[in-house]
């Protein structure tokens, strides 16, 4: 199972791009990298998932370099509603159970 390390918190202003880097030095060949977002009083919500290179969807982009020992979640032009905790997870295990860390608290201010 890939143990992940990410910053505890990040602050940003509205309209800026936020990049959260996650380290996963022990990532295994079969591991995918998955990011979830959690708002207060809600359950986590899937954002994006990737194996290598770059993945983009309507919410975010995920950059994974060739060695796959880190990944960067990029949130373009954040708004106040992007204030949340963001979790980077290594996705592997016998039953696909998610292994969350403490996550990164992103606070967006006007």
Partner 1 sequence: GAGVSQSPRYKVAKRGQDVALRCDPISGHVSLFWYQQALGQGPEFLTYFQNEAQLDKSGLPSDRFFAERPEGSVSTLKIQRTQQEDSAVYLCASSLELAGPLNTDTQYFGPGTRLTVL
- Name the residues that contact partner 1, by CB under 8 A: 30, 32, 34, 41-46, 49, 85, 87, 91-103
Taking the complex as a whole, the smallest distance from the CB of residue 14 to partner 1 amounts, in Å, to 26
Is the Cβ of residue 29 or residue 110 nearer to partner 1 in the bound state?
A: 29
Structure tokens at 97: 């159970």
Both ends of the chain: CA-CA distance in Å?
38
Helix (H/G/I), strand (E/B), else coil: 52: coil
For residues 34 and 71, which CB has a smaller minimum distance to partner 1 in the complex? 34
CB 82 within 8 A of CB 18: yes
Minimum gap (Å) between residue 99 Cβ and partner 1? 7
Shortest approach of partner 1 to residue 25 CB, angstroms? 19
């Amino acid at each position: 199972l890939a143990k992940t390390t990410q910053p505890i918190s990040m602050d940003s202003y509205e309209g800026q791009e936020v990049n959260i880097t996650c380290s996963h030095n022990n990532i295994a060949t079969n591991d995918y990298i998955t990011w979830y977002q959690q708002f207060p009083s809600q359950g986590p919500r899937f954002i994006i998932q990737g194996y290598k290179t770059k993945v983009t969807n309507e919410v975010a982009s995920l950059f994974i370099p060739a060695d796959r020992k880190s990944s960067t979640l990029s949130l373009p032009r954040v708004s106040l509603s992007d204030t949340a905790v963001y979790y980077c997870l290594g996705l592997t295990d016998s039953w696909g159970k998610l292994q969350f860390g403490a996550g990164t608290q992103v606070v967006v201010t006007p």
